[in-house]
C-alpha cells in the first residue's frame, strides 16, 4: 500500500529539520502500535542522511555494539575505541554533528528505561550542554503511550520540556479511508462503514486488507475471522504492555464499554467493584476512552457515559475478547456467526461515530456532541453547532432510511434542548450517503 495522508506531520517535521542549522532539535512521535509511526519517519528521512536505531531489550553493551555498526558508515573518528554505554553513543553523535547536519531516529524510545534506568537523566544533561553546539535532529518514537507521555510531559521527569515537537499520530481520517477504497475499487457505502469498523482506519490493518484484496465487507469478514487470523490477538499485543499485571480489570471495563454498557453505574453493578480510578487512568494515562455528557450539560453533571476512541479496539473487545473461548478452540466459524448476528446493532453506533468524524473533520463546527434526557429519553444522535453562523444541525443517523422517525422530535412539547435554544429547527434526517463528502442529507 502506498503512503497516504500525513502531509501536516511531514511539514511539521520539515520545519524542525530546517532549524537544526542553528542548533539540535528533538521531535517526539507517539501513537498506538500499527498506526504508522515508523512509516512516517522513513518517508520523512527518505532523501536525508540519517541513522535509525531500534531499541530492543538487550544488554546495554550489545545495543552499543549494534548501534556502532551503523555509525561507522558515517566516518567514525579513529580516536574512539570500544563504547559500552548508550550515553557515550550519543556523546559521539553530538561530536559528529558539530560539522554536519544529521538525523538520528530512535524507535521504541521508552525501552531505554529497561536497558539502562539512568539513561534519561544522563541524556538530559548531555542535551542541555551539547544542544547549542551541534546540528542533530533526534526523532524518537514509542508505542507505549503511557510511558512516552510520562517521559516527555510529566513535570518531574528529566526530559520534560525538551521536545521541540510532539506528534500524536492517529488513524486515517474518513476521507483518506474513502480514497484508499476508491483506488482499490472497493468503495460502496456498506463497504466503507464495514472497513471503518473492522480496521479502525489504522494503516497497518488497511495494508493487510489491501494485500489480501479484502476491503469489501464480505472479504474483510472472511479474512479477519479466518483460522490463525493475525487480528485475533491484536488487542492483547497492543494493551498488555500498557496495563501490566492489572490488565484483567482494564480489559473487563473495555469489553463492557464496547458492548454498550457505557455508564459507570452499569459497569460497577456488573463488576461488583468500584472502578473510578481505572476509568480515570484509561482516560488520562492510556488515552483509550473519554467521557461524554448530553450536549450542553453542566460539567459536573452525573449523566456521563464513556466511549472508546478506536473502532477496531471496540470491535476486538466486543467479539474477539468476549468470545475468547471460541478463539482458543479455533472455532472461528462460531465467532463469525456471532458477529454477523450482531453486526447491525454494533454498526449502528459506529455509523453515528463515522458521521460525527465527518462533521469534526469538516472544520465547520465548534461544538459537536449527542443529546439525551433523563432515562435516555429524547435522544438526538448528533448535535453540531457553528456559533459564528448561528447554525445548529440535529441529526438522526440510521442504517436504513425507513427507520428514521422525524416525528419523535417534531412534537408539540419542547424538549429541554429546545427550551435552551428558542427557535430550534426540526431534526434533520440524515441518510447514509454513497460518499462521506456528499450524498443525501
- Within-domain flag for 243: no
Q: Let me know whether 35 and 155 are in one domain.
A: yes
**71-85, 261-275, 363-377 — which one is most confidently predicted on average?**
261-275
Judgement on whether residues 326 and 204 belong to the same structural domain of the protein: no
Q: What is the CA radius of gyration of the chain?
A: 25
For the stretch 94-129, pLDDT in tens is 998 998 899 999 999 999 999 999 999 999 999 999
Q: Which three cell numbers stand for residue 171?
A: 488513524
User: 154 and 190 in one domain?
Assistant: no
For residue 162, the model assigns a pLDDT of 95
The whole domain housing 160 covers 7-168
Same-domain pairing of 97 and 137: yes
55 burial class (0-12, 13-18, 19+ CB within 10 angstroms)? buried
What is the model's pLDDT at position 413?
42
Among residues 168, 190, 211, which one ends one of the domains? 168
For cell 530512535, the residue is 106
Q: Are residues 12 and 153 in the same domain?
A: yes
Of the residues 188, 209, 224, the one at which a domain ends: 224
- pLDDT exceeds 80 at position 296: no
Rounded CA-CA distance 408/411 in Å is: 6
Helix (H) or strand (E) run with residue 136 in it: strand 136-142
23 and 122 inside one domain? yes
Q: Is residue 238 part of a domain?
A: no
The CA distance from 418 to 440, in Å, is 25
State how far the Cα of 112 lies from the Cα of 33, in Å rounded to an integer. 18
Residues 73, 111, single domain; the answer is yes
Q: Are residues 198 and 299 in the same domain?
A: no
The per-residue pLDDT for range 381-428, each reduced to its tens digit, is 888 888 888 888 888 888 777 776 666 554 434 455 455 544 444 444
Structural domain includes residue 217:
yes
- Please tell me the predicted confidence (pLDDT) of residue 77: 64
pLDDT at position 427: 41
CA distance 148 to 146: 6
Whether 184 and 294 share a structural domain? no
**Three-state secondary-structure class, residue 374:** helix
Whether residue 365 lies inside any domain: the answer is yes
**In this structure, is the dihedral angle defined by the CA atoms of residues 121, 122, 127 and 130, taken in order, positive or negative?**
positive
The answer to whether residue 52 is domain-embedded is yes
Q: DSSP character for 392? A: E
Whether 15 and 134 map to the same domain: the answer is yes
Domain boundary, last residue among 296, 319, 347: 347
Average pLDDT over residues 3-31: 96
User: Does 217 share its domain with 158?
Assistant: no
Supply the CATH number for residue 269's domain.
1.10.10
378: alpha, beta or left, given left = phi > 0 and alpha = psi -120 to 50?
Answer: left
Kindly report the average pLDDT of the chain as a whole number: 86
The CATH number of whichever domain residue 66 belongs to comes to: 3.40.50.300
CA gap 354, 371 in Å, rounded? 17
Q: What is the pLDDT of residue 63?
A: 94
231 lies in some domain:
no
Question: What's the total number of domains in the chain?
Answer: 4
Domain membership of residue 379 (yes or no) is yes
Specify if 244 maps to a domain: no
**Spatial distance between the Cα atoms of 147 and 128, rounded to a whole number of angstroms:** 22
Contact 212, 184 (CB under 8 A): no
Same domain, 15 and 150: yes
Per-residue buried b or exposed e for 205-233, using 16+ beta carbons within 10 Å of the residue's own CB:
bbbbbbeeebbbbebbbebbbbeebebbe
Any residues with CB less than 8 A from the CB of 249 and at least 6 apart, and which?
271, 275, 278
Amino acid at each position: 500500500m502506498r503512503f497516504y495522508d500525513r502531509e501536516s506531520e511531514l511539514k511539521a517535521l520539515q520545519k524542525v529539520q530546517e532549524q537544526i542549522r542553528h542548533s539540535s532539535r528533538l521531535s517526539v512521535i507517539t501513537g498506538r502500535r500499527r498506526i504508522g509511526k515508523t512509516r512516517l519517519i522513513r518517508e520523512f528521512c527518505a532523501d536525508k542522511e540519517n541513522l535509525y536505531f531500534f531499541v530492543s531489550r538487550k544488554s546495554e553493551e550489545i545495543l552499543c555494539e549494534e548501534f556502532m555498526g551503523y555509525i561507522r558508515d558515517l566516518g567514525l573518528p579513529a580516536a574512539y575505541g570500544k563504547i559500552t554505554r548508550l550515553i557515550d553513543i550519543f556523546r559521539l553523535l553530538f561530536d559528529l554533528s558539530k560539522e554536519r547536519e544529521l538525523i538520528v531516529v530512535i524507535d521504541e524510545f521508552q525501552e531505554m528505561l529497561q536497558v539502562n534506568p539512568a539513561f534519561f537523566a544522563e541524556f538530559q544533561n548531555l542535551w542541555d550542554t551539547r544542544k547549542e553546539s551541534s546540528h542533530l535532529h533526534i526523532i524518537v518514537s514509542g508505542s507505549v503511550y503511557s510511558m512516552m507521555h510520562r517521559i516527555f510531559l510529566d513535570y518531574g521527569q528529566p526530559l520534560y520540556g525538551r521536545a521541540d515537537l510532539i506528534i500524536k499520530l492517529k488513524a486515517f481520517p474518513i476521507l483518506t479511508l474513502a480514497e484508499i477504497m476508491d483506488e482499490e475499487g472497493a468503495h460502496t457505502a456498506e463497504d466503507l462503514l464495514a472497513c471503518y469498523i473492522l480496521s479502525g482506519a489504522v494503516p497497518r490493518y488497511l495494508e493487510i486488507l489491501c494485500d489480501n484484496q479484502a476491503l469489501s465487507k464480505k472479504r474483510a469478514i472472511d479474512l479477519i475471522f479466518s483460522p490463525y487470523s493475525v487480528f485475533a490477538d491484536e488487542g492483547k499485543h497492543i494493551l498488555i504492555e500498557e496495563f501490566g499485571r492489572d490488565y484483567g480489570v482494564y480489559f473487563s471495563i473495555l469489553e463492557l464499554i464496547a458492548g454498550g454498557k457505557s455508564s459507570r453505574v452499569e459497569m460497577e453493578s456488573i463488576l461488583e467493584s468500584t472502578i473510578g480510578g481505572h476509568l480515570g487512568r484509561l482516560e488520562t494515562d492510556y488515552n483509550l476512552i473519554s467521557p461524554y455528557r448530553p450536549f450542553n450539560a453542566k460539567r459536573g453533571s452525573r449523566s456521563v457515559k464513556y466511549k472508546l476512541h478506536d473502532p477496531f479496539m471496540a470491535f476486538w473487545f466486543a467479539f474477539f475478547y468476549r468470545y475468547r473461548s471460541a478463539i482458543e478452540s479455533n472455532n472461528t466459524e462460531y465467532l463469525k456467526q456471532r458477529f454477523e448476528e450482531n453486526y447491525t446493532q454494533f454498526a449502528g453506533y459506529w455509523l453515528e461515530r463515522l458521521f460525527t468524524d465527518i462533521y469534526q473533520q469538516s472544520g465547520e463546527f465548534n461544538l459537536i456532541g449527542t443529546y439525551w434526557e433523563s432515562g435516555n429519553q429524547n435522544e438526538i444522535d448528533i448535535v453540531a453547532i457553528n456559533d459564528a453562523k448561528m447554525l445548529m444541525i440535529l441529526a438522526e443517523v440510521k442504517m436504513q432510511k425507513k427507520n428514521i422517525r422525524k416525528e419523535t422530535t417534531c412534537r408539540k412539547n419542547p424538549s429541554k434542548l429546545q427550551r435552551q435554544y428558542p427557535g430550534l429547527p426540526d431534526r434533520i434526517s440524515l441518510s447514509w450517503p454513497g460518499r462521506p463528502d456528499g450524498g443525501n442529507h
